[in-house]
Amino acid sequence: MKEENVLVTGGAGFIGSALVRELLKRNANVIVYDNFLYGDHSNLRGIENRIQMVNGDVLSWKLYHTIKKYKVKYVFHLAAEPYIPRCYDNPEKFFDVNVKGTINTLMACKTLDVNLVVHFSSSEVYGTAQYVPMDEKHPTLPLSTYAVSKLAADRICFVFSREHNIPVVIVRPFNCYGPRETQPYVIPEIITQLSRGNTLKLGNIEAKRDFTYVEDIARGAVSVMKSDIQSGEVVNLGSNKAYSIKKLAHLVGEIMDHDDIEIEIEESRLRPLDVDILQCDYSKAKKYLSWEPEVSIEEGLKNTVKWYVENGNRWSWERWL
């Protein structure tokens, strides 16, 4: 990636900003393309002078002009409507951004001869595990509008790789977590609540998820660039370890020096349809990317709590509250 011009849609977001830092480690020339609706300038603090930043939407022709202006050769597509609870109230927006935005990105890349697109999907497209660990051949049975929109975008990537000869690889992260979270997902929610006391209000605490540290995900995605994975293919990125939300809450509690925590189930936090378990089989990533997760759940949670405390006990998403 040295001296290559790389564009990251959603580069000011949670995973996007970690990916930008990973690319800078490889001495890439990075262009961040973000509308800053969920992404935040603070996520790029300390690296602003090493990147180009463009305020733009993936549904806009500005994306085409940005790729052309900077002679971009590689694109990481992360821009999305990402927060599942929000999809119930505004399903159309999720399809506009996640599906139409992906089409616009792919067609811009086709027109301007981009060498490779890495499209970020989600483990949510699988739905509840039919078997564990879950490989790329696992059935796709999405249980939310968000997950359906991401699966539609995945299929578009596959079909466009054939119909339009667009080089694109799909990565499916499993429940990414870490510093700079831009949405009130379960880990930042637990940390926030425990910073105010030892009582937690949560939803389905028996659900199990494969929590994977954000820097591991970023490293895996960049590794796609030098791999032999064929265009249109999918690769999972996860840890092959599943933790219940209840177990997770107690792990965070220990890190934040709570000898005991109380958990209350709040009905409003329960989803109409929920995924019971997600657990990743990352054998394909290990084979083709020489990738394995390196950060344990304990280390990752400690890093996340440390970042939260050092940044004023506040996440960027709290600006909406």
**Cross-strand pairs, 199:** 262
Per-residue model confidence as pLDDT tens digits over 227-240? 999 999 999 999 99
Q: Which of 146, 177, 213, 243 is catalytic?
A: 146
Q: What is the pLDDT of residues 265-310, one digit of tens each?
A: 999 899 888 999 999 999 999 999 999 999 999 999 999 999 999 9
Nearest to 68 by CA among 50, 85, 56, 86: 56
Domains defined for the chain, CATH in brackets: 5-182+214-238+281-294 (3.40.50.720)
Residue 239, phi-psi category: left (phi > 0), alpha (psi -120 to 50), beta (remainder)? alpha
Q: 176 near 14, Cβ under 8 Å?
A: yes
Gap between the Cα atoms of 282 and 273, Å rounded: 26
Burial of 26 (0-12, 13-18, 19+ CB in 10 A): middle
Q: Is 146 annotated in the active site?
A: yes
**Position 161 pLDDT exceeds 70:** yes
* Predicted TM-score (pTM) above 0.75: yes
Q: Coil, strand or helix: which one is 237? A: strand
**DSSP letter at 146?**
H
Q: Are 163 and 107 in contact (CB under 8 A)?
A: no
Do residues 252 and 191 touch, judged by C-beta distance below 8 A? yes
